[in-house]
Amino acid sequence: MRPPAVRLVRRGRMPYAELLALQERWLRRLQAAPGPEAPSGAEAGALLLCEPAGPVYTSGLRGGLTPEEMARLRALGAEVRATGRGGLATFHGPGQLLCHPVLDLRRLGLRLRTHVAALEACAVRLCESQGLQGARARPPPYTGVWLGERKVCAIGVRCGRHITSHGLALNCSTDLGWFEHIVPCGLVGTGVTSLSEELRRHVTVDEVIPPFLQAFKETYKCTLISEDSPN
């Protein structure tokens, strides 16, 4: 039996609003597709990768930002958006890898909990590939991937009718000063970090994408096909 295929949709820097629009198009495409009885090797969805073009604060289904806070953040020059993902407030900006898998979990034989664990495993393996052996996922409420008491990768997903959206945000060379204006993910007393901060050198998003894709293929037991490949 052939492994399920996932379409790789890789962008460079792009506005966050454009990523959400791209995600919505893939959601509609998957929702209109046949169910899990699709033939072996059929596409299970898409892996959307990009780097945010500008600073954006987002809130999740549990909120995280009051109207006053949203006005204050906009005054800093950032965009502020409410999203349908799980979790509270976080920040996205240049120097960050955004990964939004839009997947039919049934075709991958996964449940939502194992999908979240797989995303965490991908981020841990990426950190390890860079020599950061202390990266780990933590039990709730500490979602994401951590290096000590500092979070390097935030995770927040949405799932409806077995189809996922949103995903992870991994700090490569992100300006961490933007996080000082919020309580990231509502976790008081914890900090944030980046690969550049930990490795004491500039780590670009482009640099980490190849090891991330390798980790994704092995963790999700799928093949990745480029966006312009024939169906």
Q: Which of 61, 73, 95, 118 is nearest to 192 (CA)?
A: 95
185 catalytic? Reply is yes
pLDDT at 164: 96
Q: Dihedral sign for Cα 192, 11, 218, 143, please.
A: positive
User: Which residue of the set 99, 153, 172, 185 is catalytic?
Assistant: 185
Angstrom distance (rounded) from CA 10 to CA 66? 33
| Lowest mean pLDDT segment, chosen from 10-14, 38-42, 75-79 | 38-42
Q: Is the pLDDT of residue 56 over 70?
A: yes
Q: Is the pLDDT of residue 231 over 50?
A: no
pTM exceeds 0.85: yes
Residues at the binding site for substrate are 85-92, 154-156, 167-169
Backbone angles phi, psi at 98, to 5 degrees: -100, 130
Domains of the chain and CATH, by start:
5-30+42-226 (3.30.930.10)
Quick: pLDDT tens for 187-229: 555 789 999 999 999 999 999 999 999 999 999 999 999 875 4
Quick: pLDDT tens for 23-54: 999 999 999 876 665 555 579 999 999 999 99
Q: What are 86's strand-pairing partners?
A: none
Average pLDDT along the chain: 90
Strand boundaries in 53-199, DSSP class E: 56-59, 79-82, 90-92, 96-103, 136-137, 145-147, 150-160, 163-171, 191-192
Q: Is the pLDDT of residue 66 over 90?
A: no
Percent of the chain with pLDDT over 70: 91
Residues at the binding site are 85-92, 154-156, 167-169
154 touches 184 (CB < 8 A)? yes
Q: Is the pLDDT of residue 9 over 90?
A: yes
pLDDT at 183: 72
Quick: pLDDT tens for 116-146: 999 999 999 999 999 999 999 988 777 899 9
Quick: pLDDT tens for 142-178: 789 999 999 999 999 999 989 999 999 999 999 999 9
Per this entry, what is the length of the chain? Answer: 231
Three-class DSSP category at 218: helix
Higher pLDDT, 143 or 71: 71
Angstrom distance (rounded) from CA 169 to CA 126? 13
Using pLDDT thresholds of 50, 70 and 90, give the confidence band for residue 88.
confident
